[in-house]
Amino acid sequence: ENITARRQGIVVTELPYAVGPERVQAKIRELIGAGKLDGIAAVVDLSDRHHGLRLVIECKSGVGPHSLLEKLYRLTPLEESFGINNVALVEGVPTTLGLRDLCQYYIDHRLDVVVRRAKYRLSRAEEREHILLGLLLALDNIERVISIIRGSKDAATAKAKLIDELKLSDMQATHILDMQLRRLTALEVDKLRAELIEVQTEIGKLTKLLASETRQRNAVRDELRELVQEFATPRRSKVTRASDLVTIEDDVPEETEPSLEEIGDQPTLVTLSTSGLLGRRSPNEEFTAKPGRHDVVARSLETSAFAVVSAVTDQGRVLSVRAREIPEMVRGSRGASVTEMFSLSRGERVVGLFGDGMDPIVLVTRNGTAKRVEADLLKRLRSGSSAIKLKGDDRVASAFVTSEDSEIVMVASDGQALRTPAQGISLQGPGASGVAGMKLKPGANVIASGVVEFGTAVVVISDEGAIKATDVAEIPSKGRATGGVKTVKWRDFETTAAFGWVGRSQQLAAVVADASDDKKADSTPVPLVLELTRRDSMTSTLEGRILLIGEYRL
């Protein structure tokens, strides 16, 4: 709403469960201080007992509240996710249940309660009917009953004679002996007969209930409706279908946020450097950013300005951000920290980027597990959700887009490489663990993987910083879960591959060690002109020890 004549703002009147306005205020101030959030002029808490929650977030001049609100949802507690572990005892066994199963077991429990309660009430009603029939029989033969009682020397004798002569049960005889004289009046007799009719009617209802599952379910339904009426306090939170949710973009007024037609959904190139900088620029314009340490491109993605850019991390999480929110690479700037853009955890790394395409995403872990996931499934995940169930200390090594009829290459730290059809890897949901992708030797792990395209090369860098490049055509195609073929012959001083690269061999650059300090990186990346050798050839060395490899910035 309009806060002043020139400024708009966001008024928060509802917050997620267990989130207070002070927590939101503190998080906004923290983000502003860290430079992760801008466009906010002030945050004022106007909540009180009379008006309820009212947190006013004032926008700076020229800042659209809808785009700001989208950032607030993503970065602050205005939107929260709650994990629910529905563990219940099912026939005495702790079991994790989904929502449908949870409801079904609750309904089954309520049905069991209805049946057991009906059986108990039926037994009590039949017992009462039996007693009433005995009392009425005694009242119909009251003179004889009195004679038997008066002629007996004690209660036990009287009970035995009543049972024998009137054909009564022990329970009936006991109640007759306990009957008070006032029950002999005509009024009391009428009450007993009326009670007998009422009890017999109840027995009929309970018998029908126990004989009909439909009646039992109707009873459960009626009881639940009574509970709803008894506790009729309106819900403060709403449960809605995902398809019915109104997104921020759907709710943007035309005069506040420019449309795609006004701005134009321009092609955009998103790059992630080995130094952890995420930036975007037009793929059609010349870019002359000043190179910096480790400044080679580790991953790139061609998309559009209004598309969603998703990152897969080594922990298997999928994180998303709008391409237009990624800083442009202008005036020598190479972007912003990927950790801040995607709110990565400590030590978490991005291993793949994908956009709005429809081709499946392949995930390959360090232990050789591979998995394909439909892109549409990953797009529907909430940012921060897992795309794969990792076992133990396994981590995702690579994530990339591939078509159904393409092939992929997985490279291990011992120099083995496996080329296999993508369709041999099963399509699975985000919660699955994947299938065996590459069979690894003891001590080896996957260091690189990618899709096979024209001009693709497999590049490995040894632990001593030497390099070996192999044309992917040299690697025969095999089935998954095999060990692949050897792509490099190690020199005497080399034992393993430190890292690798699967992609185009042109426009590659390396970050090499400084001449004066082998552990320090030289400030300027060195362009690589690679000779693709046979797969069983040795590595070759450069003037400096190779520390990192990636695409050169153009």
pLDDT at 263 over 50: no
What pLDDT shows up at residue 255? 41
Mean local confidence (pLDDT), 59-88: 83
**Structural domains of the chain in order of their starting residue, each with its CATH number:** 9-82 (3.30.1360.40), 93-230 (1.10.268.10), 266-551 (2.120.10.90)
| 1 vs 277, residue with greater confidence | 277
Average pLDDT over residues 305-314: 90
Q: Give one DSSP letter per residue of 141-191, joined into a string.
A: THHHHHHHHHT-SSHHHHHHHHHHHH---HHHHHHHHH--GGGGSHHHHHH
Model pLDDT, residue 242: 58
Q: Mean per-residue pLDDT for 107-120?
A: 95
Q: What's the order of all strands across the beta sheet hosting 497-504?
A: 467-471, 456-462, 497-504
Q: Are 307 and 355 in contact (CB under 8 A)?
A: yes
What integer best gives the mean pLDDT of the chain? 86
For position 127, what pLDDT does the model report? 95
Q: Strand, helix or coil at 132?
A: helix
Three-state DSSP at 546 gives: strand
* Cα–Cα dist 70/142, whole Å: 88
Q: Examine the pLDDT at 80 and tell me if it is beyond 90.
A: no
Q: How far is CA 438 from CA 218, 291, 352, 483, in A?
A: 57, 37, 19, 6
Distance, CA of 135 to CA of 199 (rounded, Å): 14
Residue 260 pLDDT: 45
| Global pTM value | 0.54
- pLDDT greater than 90 at residue 545: no
Share of the chain above pLDDT 90, in %: 42
Q: What is the pLDDT of residues 453-467, one digit of tens each?
A: 988 999 999 988 889
Q: Which of 159-168, 289-298, 438-447, 510-519 has the lowest mean pLDDT?
A: 289-298
* The predicted structure's pLDDT at residue 292: 52
Summarize the chain as % helix, strand, coil (round to 5): 30, 25, 40
Instruction: Specify the pLDDT at position 423.
Output: 93
Could you tell me which of 531, 530, 532, 525 has the C-alpha nearest to residue 509?
Answer: 525
The pLDDT tens digits for 183-235 are 777 778 899 999 999 999 999 999 999 999 999 999 999 999 999 899 888 77
- List the beta bridge partners of residue 411: 417, 448
What CA–CA distance (Å, rounded) separates 367 from 481? 12
CB 62 within 8 A of CB 9: no
Instruction: Provide the 8-state DSSP code for 326.
Output: S
Burial zone of 363 (CB within 10 Å; 0-12 exposed, 13-18 middle, 19+ buried): buried
Element (H, E) at 435: strand 435-436
Cβ atoms of 452 and 406 closer than 8 Å: yes
